[in-house]
Amino acid sequence: QVQLVDSGGGLVQAGGSLRLSCAASGRTFSYYTMGWFRQAPGKEREFVASISWSSGTTYYADSVKGRFTISRDNANYMVYLQMNSLKPEDTAVYYCAAKWVVGDGYYFGAREYDYWGQGTQVTVSS
């Protein structure tokens, strides 16, 4: 089984930065894609970024491309989301997620993921 604990959210001013962390535990992550999603009040949970645990292949939503960077630490079983140039519209609860996969791919639907962190709040003030 896989357990995910996400953290690192907080209150920042527009233009600032935050780094979210996701601590993963389980037998292996070689066959998982790790993703970050976010959900603002009254809105659908939306894809932010993903990374293949084995290959490191990344995907980003257009809204965060060039500002956010997803990465993983294979040795410590961590996945990160570095968020720079934050905007008020980035305000949301951010969730780390994991999906079991056979091969690399672009998995952007929340319903496709098998495991979820508890969420961490990111608030960006104007």
What's the pLDDT tens digit per position in 3-44?
999 999 999 999 999 999 999 987 666 788 999 999 999 999
- Whether residue 120 contacts residue 18, with contact meaning beta carbons closer than 8 Å, is answered with no
Identify the burial level of 52 via C-beta atoms within 10 angstroms of its C-beta, where 0-12 means exposed, 13-18 middle and 19 or more buried. Answer: buried
pLDDT reading at 118 higher than 70? yes
The DSSP symbol for 26 reads S
In this predicted structure, what is the pLDDT of residue 2? 86
Calculated CA dihedral for residues 13, 108, 20, 58, nearest 10 degrees: -110
Residues 100-117 have a mean pLDDT of 89
Nearest to 103 by CA among 69, 64, 53, 39: 53
Residues 76-89 have a mean pLDDT of 96
